[in-house]
A and B are shown apart, each in its own frame.
Chain A
Amino acid sequence: MIRMEASFQWAWLIPALPLLSFLIIGFITKKWPKLSSTISIAAILTSFVLAVWVDFGVFASGVGAELVEKPYQHVVNWLTFSGVPWGLSAAPLNIEFGTLIDPLSAMMLFVVTLVASLVQIYSVGYMHGDKGYSRYFAYQSLFAMSMLGLVLSTNLLQLFIFWELVGLCSYLLIGFWFFKPSAREAAKKAFMTTRVGDFGLLLGILFLLNKFGTLNFVQLFHMMTPEVKAMVAVGGVSYLTLTAFLVFIGPIGKSGQFPLHVWLPDAMEGPTPVSALIHAATMVVAGVYLIARIYFLFQGASPAALEFVASLGGFTAIFAASIAIAQNDIKRILAYSTLSQLGYMVMALGVGSLTAGMFHLMTHAFFKALMFLGAGSVIHALHEKQDIWEMGGLWKKMRITGTTFAIGVLAIAGVPPLAGFFSKDEILSAALHNGHPVLFGIGLFTAMLTAFYMTRLFVIAFMGPEKAENHPHESPWVMTLPLVILAFFSIVGGWAGIPEHGFAYFVRPWGSEFEPEAMNWLVAGPSIIVGLAGIILSYIVYYGKASDPVEAAFPRVYKVLKNKYYVDEFYLWIIKHIVDGIGKVLYWFDIYIVDGIVDGLAWIARSLGSLFRRAQTGQLQVYAIIFFVALIVLFLAVTYGEGQLHALNPLALGGGK
C-alpha cells in the first residue's frame, strides 16, 4: 500500500509532462517539426505510463474501495484571499491546487491519456507536411495538460480553470487552419457558446464558495448535512438546488446539451484527430465528469434538479440523433452522434446512476474516437472529401479502416459483446430501475436511431457504389495502428462493466453503498433488438442507393432535420439583430447623447464666451467711460452705503469674518 501511494504522489507529473512539452515546443523546437512531435508524443506516452501506474495502484491493490470513501489528495496553496473567515467553513479563504485520486479520476486518467496518446501518434500521419505541424503538437500538449489537470482537480475552481483552458485549446485547435473563414467562425462560435455555459458555472461556483467557504470536493461533500440541505435561497428553492442548476449550466455548454449544442457540429472544422480527441472522447465529456464529481450536490438538491438533468439529457439524445439522420458530412454525422451520446451520459447521471454515465463515457471515448479517426483516415485517403455520398466502395480499398470502423458502428449500435452494449444497457436499466419509464422509452428509441444513422453512414460510405474519381488507399501504419488499438478497446472496454469485473464497485458516488447488480436481460433484450432493427432497417433503406431515399420520401421532415431544426438560424438572428442591435443603439446613445451632453456643455461655454465678447467693442473711449462711471458708483457706494456694503461681503455670507 505504501508503494501505491508513491505512485499517487507522482500523479502531478501526468499533466506536468505535457505542459513541459508545450513549453519546449513553443519556445525551442518550433522550427523542427519532427522533433516537436517526438517530444509531444514522448511526453503523453510517459503520462500514459504514469496513469497506468496510478490506475494499477487504485484498481489492483485493493485500496480502490477505500479511495471511494477517502480520496487521496495532495495539495499546495495557490491563491489566498484576504484571509477573512468566509462562509460555513469559517476558515480563511484560499484556493488550493493539487491532485485528487479516486477511482473516478483514475478511470478518466486512463481514458484521456490513452486516447490522447493514440491521437497524437495518429496525427503524425494525418498532419504530415502541414505548415503548422509543430504548432499543432504544441496545442495538443497544452490540451493534454489542461484535460489531465481538469481530471485531477481537487476543487471546483481548479476544475474551472482547466475547464476554461481546455476550452481555449479547443478554440485554438478548431481554428487551427485559421485561414479558413469557416474554421475561424467555428472556433469563435465554440468559445462563445461554451462561455454562456461558463457564466452559469461561474455563478454556481461563487454561490458555493460564498456559502461554504471552500470549493474542495471532499470538504464540500462532508458539509452536506441535513441542515445545509434544508437551507432555502429564494422563493422556497433550496440553496443546493439553485446551485446545482447554476453549475449544471456549465455542462450544458461544454457537453453540448440542448440548447447550447450548436457549437459542437461546427467544431468539426478542426483537423479530424482534434475532433476525435477533443470533440468526442475527452473535452466534451468534461461536463459529464463535472456532474459526476459534484454528484453529492445534485443528491443533496431537491429531486427536481436531477429530474431536470435527466430530461435535458434524454431530450438532447433524441434531438441530436434525429438530426444525425439527415446529415451528409461524415464528420457532422459523428458530431451529432456525439451530442446524442453525451445526452445519454447526462441522462444516466440524471436518472441517478453515476456508474452508468461514467461507464458510457469510457466506452464512448473508445468507439467514438475510433470512428472519428477512421473518418479521418477516409478523408485523408479521399483528399479532404467529407460528403458520404461522394464516397462509396471504401470497404474494399481500405480494409483496416473499414473493419475497425465497422467495429465502432457495431459498438455504438449496442451489439453484444461490444463495449456500447454494456454501457447503454446500464443506462437503460438504471432509467427503468429508478422510475423513469419515459426516459427509458426515449433511450430505447434513441438507441434505434443511433444504430440507424450509423449504419447509414457505413453503408453509404463504405459499401456504396464506387466512385471513379476517387483513388482511395489505406493509410500509413501510424494511422491504422491507433485504429486497431481503439477497436480492441471498443470490443473489450465494455467487459469492465460485467459485474464480476467491478466497474460499478469502484466508480460510484462518494459515500454510497455498493449494490451489485446482475445483467438485466429484460432491458438488454429489447436494447439488442432495437439495435439490430436499426441496423437492418438502415441497410435495407440505404444499401446500393446513390441518393437519400428518406429525403425523397419525407421531404419536409428531412428539410427540418437537415437544417437542424433551425436553431442556428435562430441564434444567428438573435446575435445579429438583438445583441448587435443593442450595441449599435447604445453606441448611438454614447456618441450623440452622452458625448452630446459633454460636447453640449463645451458648446454652451463657447457660446457664452462669444456672447459676452460682444461687450468688448474695442473702442477705448467706451471702456474709459464705463471705467469712469463705475468709479463714481463705487465712490458713492463707499461714501454713503457703508453698512449695506458690508452685507455683500462673500466671506460674511459664509458666517465668518
Chain B
Amino acid sequence: MNFSLTVGLPHYLLVGAMLFCFGLYGVFSKKNAIAVLMSLELMLNAVNINLIAFNRFLWNNPVEGTKHLLLNGHVSAIFVIVVAAAEVAVGLALVISIYRSRLSANVDELDWLKW
C-alpha cells in the first residue's frame, strides 16, 4: 500500500469541480435570489481555485531573464474576486430593491420581463 499524500493538481481540480457543481446546483435549484447569488460566488471561487492551481503546477517558472515567477493565474483570480465583489454589490442591490417593491425574493416570481 503506497499511500501518497502529496497534494497535486488533480486534488485541487477535484475540489474546484466539486465547488463548481455545488454552485451550479445552487444556481439551478435555489429559489431565493440571495441563495442564487451565493451559489454564484461558489462557482466563481471554484474558478479561482482552478486558476491558481494551474498557475502553480503548470506554469511555475520565472519570467525570461528575471527571477520573478509568472503570476498570470493569480492576477486573474484577483480580477475575478474584484468582479465578484462588484457583481454581488450590484446583485444584492437589485435583489433588495426588488424585495422592497415586491416583498419577495423568489426567483420563480421574477419573470415579468419575459415578454
Identify the A interface with B (CB < 8 A): 613, 616-621, 624-625, 628
Contact residues in B for A617 (Cβ distance below 8 Å): 111, 114
* B89 lies within 8 A of chain A by Cβ: no
**CB-based contact A624/B28 at 8 Å:** yes
Given the known inter-chain contacts A625-B28, A628-B24, please indicate yes or no for A620 contacting B114, CB distance below 8 A.
no
Contact, CB under 8 Å: A613 / B115: yes
A624 to B27 Cα, complex, angstroms: 8
Question: Which interface residue of A617, A618, A619 has the most chain B CB atoms within 10 A?
Answer: A618
Q: Are the C-beta atoms of A621 and B28 separated by less than 8 Å?
A: yes
CA distance A56 to B115 in the complex (A): 92
Q: Is B113 an interface residue (CB 8 A)?
A: yes
Distance between Cα atoms of A616 and B24 in the complex (Å): 21
Complex alpha-carbon distance, A622 and B113, angstroms: 14
For chain B, the count of residues having a C-beta within 8 Å of the partner chain is 13
Q: Which residues of A contact B115 (CB under 8 A)?
A: 613, 616, 618
Q: Specify the chain A residue showing the minimal Cβ separation from B108.
A: A619
B9 sits at the interface (CB 8 A): no
Judge whether B29 and A618 touch: CB under 8 Å.
no
26 A-B residue pairs with Cβ-Cβ distance under 8 Å, sorted by A, are: A613-B114, A613-B115, A616-B114, A618-B110, A618-B111, A618-B112, A618-B113, A618-B114, A618-B115, A619-B107, A619-B108, A619-B111, A620-B36, A620-B107, A620-B110, A621-B27, A621-B28, A621-B29, A621-B36, A621-B107, A621-B108, A624-B27, A624-B28, A625-B28, A628-B24, A628-B28
Provide the residues of chain B in CB contact with A625, threshold 8 Å. Answer: 28
Q: Which residues of A contact B112 (CB under 8 A)?
A: 618
Q: Which of B87-102 contact A (CB under 8 A)?
A: none
Task: Give the number of residue pairs across the A-B interface with Cβ within 8 Å.
Answer: 29
Binding site for A on B (CB under 8 A): 24, 27-29, 36, 107-108, 110-115
State the Cβ distance, A528 to closest chain B Cβ, in Å: 98
12 new A-B contacts, CB < 8 A, other than A618-B113, A618-B114, A628-B24, are A613-B114, A613-B115, A617-B111, A617-B114, A619-B107, A619-B108, A619-B111, A620-B36, A621-B28, A621-B29, A621-B108, A628-B28
Q: Which 10 A-B pairs have the closest CB atoms?
A: A618-B111, A618-B114, A616-B114, A621-B28, A625-B28, A619-B111, A613-B115, A619-B108, A620-B107, A624-B27
Give every chain A residue within 8 A of B36 (Cβ-Cβ): 620-621
A558 to chain B, nearest CB (A): 79
Cα distance, A613 to B115, chains bound together (Å): 7
User: With the chains together, A628 CA to B29 CA distance in Å?
Assistant: 13
Query: Residues of B contacting A618 with CB < 8 Å?
Result: 110-115
Report the minimal beta-carbon distance from A625 to chain B, rounded to whole angstroms.
5
A617, A619, A620: most-surrounded residue (chain B CB, <10 A): A620
Task: Give the nearest-CB partner of A622 in chain B.
Answer: B28
CA–CA, A654 and B107, complex, Å: 46
| Chain B residues whose C-beta falls within 8 Å of the C-beta of A613 in the assembled complex | 114-115
Give complex CA distance A617, B111 in Å.
7
Distance in Å: Cβ of B74 to nearest Cβ of chain A? 27
CA distance A377 to B36 in the complex (A): 105
Report how far A624 CA is from B110 CA in the complex, Å: 15
Residue of B nearest to A628 (CB): B24
State A618–B114 Cα separation when bound (angstroms). Answer: 4
- Residues on A with C-beta less than 8 A from B113 are 618
A616 to B28, CA, bound (A): 16
Give complex CA distance A110, B111 in Å.
93
Task: Give the distance in Å from the alpha carbon of A617 to the alpha carbon of B110 in the complex.
Answer: 10
Question: What is the CB-to-nearest-CB distance from A572 to chain B, in angstroms, rounded to a whole number?
Answer: 58
Bound Cα distance from A621 to B36, whole angstroms = 9
